[in-house]
Amino acid sequence: MKLVTYSVDGRQSVGFLVKDQVCDLGKAAKAFKFDIDSGADLVSVAKNEYRDILGKIEEAAQTSLEDDWCVPLSKAKLHAPYRPRQNILIAGGNTRDEFVPQRMRNGKPMLRYHTKAPSAVIGPGDEISWPRQLTTEVHAEPHLAVVIGETASYVEPSEVMNKVFGFTVATNVVAQDLKRKHGQWDKAVSLDTFMPWGPVVVTADEVDVAELACRLWLNERMAISGGAESGLLKTAEVLSELSFGMVLHPGDVVLTGTAESVGHGEVPERWLQDGDVVQSAIEGVVQITNPVSTY
């Protein structure tokens, strides 16, 4: 199922995509007599306990789209899926890039886990924006964003993907000079507007993570490209490691690392600037485009 948070005529609700239509989940559930509280954004249904019921609603909708709960996608405004209830986790340095050496523990690289404040969340089309006097070295990375659907605590890699609700794309916007300035990275990735993500969350049953490609285009030129699992640790290894000691709850979001670093590895360095357009995608699944504007 492909879920979105969307609005028509200013009224926001949770929807799912069927062909070129977006369907109101709450109204569809009611029409087909399913009991689900769809809330105002999709975090309320991003729970594995709803897997079966969501599947049934989608199946029923395939054959009977009704005008009173479906609109053409072109008439709907799509938003960020939701604002997570705690910071977004980022598997920093999950790359084979030689610029980011990792320490090892028990034969495994120790990734640079850091976080992004949920106040940074924006949706498709929204401006990525920052004060020019604060930072001049902003770059963007495409990430696979994992939406947790079920409480996960001490879960082995072989089991942990069962705790995932779905996937989407996030653009991890980073002020590279603020990373150096503050030493710890959380502030450098948490400026307002630095978390474009979504809009479509695709449920885990529809994709095979190993097959996914993660890409970023800067002004329609492909700048970053690679497998979503081309990093040092696979998605399941990242989630499992985090779950050992750090409980994950439904709605928590993990960015599992970018394919290849860009910007600070290039000579000459190319930082984002006014008028740029950034597009990130999980190829064939979801993409998000945001213009850049400084102030």
Partner 1 sequence: MYLATIKNAAEIIPAFTFGTSVVSIHAAAKALGHSFASPLPATLLEVIEAGPDVWEELEEFYDSLRGSELPGEGRQAWWWNSDEVSFEPPIIPRKNPWVVGANYYQHLANGFARIPRPAIAPPHVEYFTKAVNSIVGHDADIVYDKRVTRTVDFELELAVVIGKYGKDVPVADAYDWVFGYTIANDMSARELQLGHQQYHRGKSLDGFCPLGPVIATTRETGDPNRLRMRQWVNGELKQDWPVGDMIYKIDKLIEVLSEGMTIEPGEVIICGTVPGVGFEQLPQSWLQHGDVLEAEISRIGMLRNTIKMAGIS
Residue ranges binding partner 1 (CB under 8 A): 83, 85-87, 89, 92, 103, 105, 110-115, 117-120, 130-131, 134-135, 153-154, 175, 181-187, 190-192, 242, 244-249, 252
Residue nearer to partner 1 on the CB measure, 69 or 130: 130
Minimum gap (Å) between residue 194 Cβ and partner 1: 9
The angle at the Cα of 106, spanning 101 to 111, to the nearest 5 degrees, equals: 35
Q: Check residue 94 and report its DSSP letter.
A: -
Residue nearer to partner 1 on the CB measure, 30 or 249: 249
Read off the amino acid at residue 68: D
Residue nearer to partner 1 on the CB measure, 64 or 86: 86
Minimum gap (Å) between residue 39 Cβ and partner 1: 16
| Residues forming beta bridges with residue 100, ordered by sequence position | none
String of b and e for 1-18 (b: at least 16 CB within 10 Å)?
A: bbbbbbeeeeeebbbbbb
Contact 44, 14 (CB under 8 A): yes
What's the distance, Cα to Cα, between the start and end of the chain in Å?
Answer: 39
Give the H or E element holding residue 63.
helix 51-63
Residue nearer to partner 1 on the CB measure, 192 or 283: 192
Residue nearer to partner 1 on the CB measure, 214 or 248: 248
Minimum gap (Å) between residue 200 Cβ and partner 1: 24
Q: Which residues contact 237 (CB under 8 A, 6 or more apart)?
A: 108, 157
Residue nearer to partner 1 on the CB measure, 25 or 42: 42
Residue nearer to partner 1 on the CB measure, 102 or 225: 102
Minimum gap (Å) between residue 199 Cβ and partner 1: 22
Minimum gap (Å) between residue 213 Cβ and partner 1: 27
Handedness of CA 230, 263, 272, 132 (dihedral sign): positive
Question: Which two three-digit tokens encode residue 148?
Answer: 């947790």
Minimum gap (Å) between residue 81 Cβ and partner 1: 16
CA-nearest of 163, 160, 283 to 228 is: 283
Minimum gap (Å) between residue 276 Cβ and partner 1: 18
206 class by beta-carbon count within 10 Å (0-12 exposed, 13-18 middle, 19+ buried): exposed
Residue nearer to partner 1 on the CB measure, 229 or 252: 252
Minimum gap (Å) between residue 272 Cβ and partner 1: 14
Q: How far is CA 78 from CA 57, 115, 122, 167, 230, in A?
A: 21, 25, 11, 16, 30
Contact 112, 92 (CB under 8 A): yes
